[in-house]
């Protein structure tokens, strides 16, 4: 039997990065930081990020119109979580996250509530959602949320409208 003697060279760094990075001169770094800091000399980038993602065209049309009474801009972050059959660990972990300390403006723990009740039972919700394959989680952030004393009526109205649009009951 013959012995195989392969040379193995370890190359540290990013995968596929074979170039050696040149050191940036001190003067160049000073110029870059000065350009970032404010006007004078070079102009700032015209990139604003306003055209990234879906809905740019609709957003541009709506931004051109004045908002009428009862309208507000809202940012909604949606996340779909797949739940494996019979496993409620992800649901319980999310409920603990919602109820953690420091959620409210006063720093108190978050509270679970339903469309008709100011308090909801986490265990009952977990039992009701045991057969669900997916959980749809939304973070709702209206631009004027600082003016709300309580966000519950706003969220309840939003959920009622979602139920009407989807034609199903939401929990």
Tell me the pLDDT tens digit for each residue of 26-73: 888 888 888 887 665 555 566 666 666 666 666 666 666 666 666 778
The reply to whether 81 falls in a domain is yes
The reply to whether 38 falls in a domain is no
**pTM higher than 0.85:** no
How far, in Å, CA of 116 to CA of 171, rounded? 11
The reply to whether 120 falls in a domain is yes
Q: Is the pLDDT of residue 1 over 70?
A: no
Q: What is the pLDDT of residue 121?
A: 87
Number of domains, the chain? 1
Q: Tokens 């109820």 belong to which residue?
A: 99
The reply to whether 58 falls in a domain is no
Tokens of 84: 């494996």
- DSSP, res 49: S
The reply to whether 83 falls in a domain is yes
CA angle 117, 134, 165 (to 5 degrees): 60
Tokens of 161: 């409208």
The reply to whether 85 falls in a domain is yes
- For the segment 133-169, what is each residue's pLDDT rounded down to a tens digit? 888 888 888 888 888 888 888 888 888 998 899 898 8
71: left (phi over 0), alpha (psi -120 to 50) or beta: beta
Q: Is the pLDDT of residue 94 over 80?
A: yes
Q: Is the pLDDT of residue 132 over 70?
A: yes
Q: What is the pLDDT of residue 2?
A: 58
Q: What is the pLDDT of residue 62?
A: 61
| Domain residue limits at 85 | 73-166
Q: By three-state DSSP, how is residue 14 classified?
A: coil
The reply to whether 113 falls in a domain is yes
Q: Is the pLDDT of residue 107 over 70?
A: yes
> What average pLDDT does this structure show over 12-33?
74
The reply to whether 18 falls in a domain is no
Average pLDDT taken over every residue of the chain: 78
Q: Is the pLDDT of residue 100 over 60?
A: yes
Residue 154 phi, psi dihedral angles, 5° rounding: -65, -45
């Amino acid at each position: 039997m013959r012995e195989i003697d392969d040379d193995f060279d370890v190359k540290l760094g990013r995968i596929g990065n074979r170039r050696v990075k040149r050191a940036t001169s001190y003067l160049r770094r000073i110029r870059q930081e000065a350009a970032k800091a404010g006007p004078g000399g070079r102009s700032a980038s015209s990139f604003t990020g306003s055209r990234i993602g879906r809905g740019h065209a609709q957003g541009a049309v709506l931004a051109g119109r004045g908002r009428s009474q009862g309208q507000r801009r809202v940012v909604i972050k949606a996340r779909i979580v797949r739940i494996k059959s019979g496993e409620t660990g992800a649901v319980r972990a999310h409920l603990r996250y919602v109820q953690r300390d420091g959620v409210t403006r006063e720093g108190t723990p978050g509270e679970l509530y339903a469309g008709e009740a100011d308090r909801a039972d986490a265990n009952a919700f977990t039992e009701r959602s045991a057969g669900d394959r997916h959980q749809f989680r939304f973070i709702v952030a209206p631009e004027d949320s600082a003016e709300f004393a309580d966000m519950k009526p706003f969220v309840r109205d939003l959920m009622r409208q979602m139920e009407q649009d989807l034609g199903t009951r939401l929990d």
